[in-house]
């Protein structure tokens, strides 16, 4: 997508470092290369083959801005536990965050439907970069090898959801409203994507 960084992951587990790198590149005021950024966030956020914990990603972003002497406010709203400094005091609205010039990373879960229950298979991070007049969100997805695409975000048809026991981080019980993302091109017919969390980055001093 012209005007937005759309770096792709080269494996199955570095989506979070790539999304962080995409955000940094879009600011046009940092000198690191794409690969340097991915390596930095992969190491600093402690990414493993099981993925990246949300709190670690938020901490890595905060550390990067501090090291580069920039002022940024990072907030999270979702099902994962994060440090108090990152907890949003109010629900984050993707549309509002984008319209206010924030960088937005979405944590989504991919679930397999067996006819009754959605079973979580794995988590994923994507960049939300724009919104159209229909309210659809434009995503750059590190896993999707094609171009950016729009998704509809709406209430799920079923809330009968089961998370797997070997997930890489625990779930924080709160009032976060899981929503369905419609339009992700690589999902199978029996798979669905649910919004698990929103990371908002407000770079105050460029």
Q: In this structure, what DSSP letter does residue 172 have?
A: P
Distance CA 182, CA 179 (A): 10
Give the pLDDT of residue 1.
41
Under CATH, what is the fold of the domain 15-203?
Answer: Cathepsin B; Chain A (3.90.70)
Using one digit for the tens of pLDDT, what is the confidence trace for 127-186? Answer: 999 999 999 999 999 999 999 999 999 987 767 888 766 666 677 766 788 899 999 999
Residue 166 is predicted with a pLDDT of: 61
According to the model, what pLDDT value does residue 160 have? 84
What element of type H or E holds 139?
A: strand 137-140
What's the predicted TM-score (pTM) here? 0.94
Residue 116 has pLDDT above 80, yes or no: yes
Q: Which residue has the higher pLDDT, 2 or 189?
A: 189
Residue 113: pLDDT over 50 = yes
- pLDDT band of residue 102 (cuts 50, 70, 90) is very high
Long-range contacts of 86-90 (CB under 8 A, 24+ apart): 86/55, 86/58, 86/59, 86/62, 88/200
Which is nearest to 40 in space by CA: 26, 29, 28, 23? Answer: 23
Angstrom distance (rounded) from CA 97 to CA 99: 6
Phi, psi of 81 (to 5 degrees): -75, 135
The residue ranges of every structural domain in the chain are 15-203
Rounded to whole angstroms, how far apart are CA atoms 72 and 6?
22
Render the burial of 153-168: b for 16+ CB within 10 Å, e for the rest: beebeeeebebeeeee
Q: Which residue has the higher pLDDT, 164 or 98?
A: 98
Q: Which stretch of 14-23, 89-98, 115-124, 160-169 has the lowest confidence by average pLDDT? A: 160-169
Q: Is the dihedral of CA 148, 187, 145, 102 positive or negative?
A: positive
pLDDT in tens, 20-49: 999 999 998 898 999 999 999 999 999 999
Mean pLDDT of all residues in the chain?
92
């Amino acid at each position: 997508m012209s005007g937005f960084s759309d770096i792709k992951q080269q494996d199955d587990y570095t989506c979070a470092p790539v999304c962080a790198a995409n955000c940094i590149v879009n600011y046009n005021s940092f000198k690191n290369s794409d690969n340097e950024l991915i390596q930095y966030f992969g190491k600093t956020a402690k990414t493993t083959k099981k993925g990246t914990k949300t709190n670690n990603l938020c901490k890595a972003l905060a550390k990067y801005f501090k090291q580069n002497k920039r002022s940024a406010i990072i907030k999270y709203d979702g099902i994962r536990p994060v440090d108090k400094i990152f907890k949003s005091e109010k629900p984050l609205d993707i549309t509002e965050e984008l319209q206010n010039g924030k960088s937005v990373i979405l944590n989504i879960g991919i679930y397999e439907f067996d006819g009754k229950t959605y079973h979580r298979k794995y988590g994923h991070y994507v960049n939300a970069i724009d919104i159209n007049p229909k309210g659809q969100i434009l995503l750059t997805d590190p896993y999707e090898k094609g171009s950016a695409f729009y998704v509809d975000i709406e209430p799920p048809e079923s809330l009968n959801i089961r998370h797997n026991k070997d997930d890489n981080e625990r779930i924080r019980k709160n009032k976060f409203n899981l929503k369905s993302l419609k339009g992700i091109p690589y999902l199978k017919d029996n798979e669905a994507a649910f919004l698990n969390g929103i990371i908002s980055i407000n770079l105050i001093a460029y």
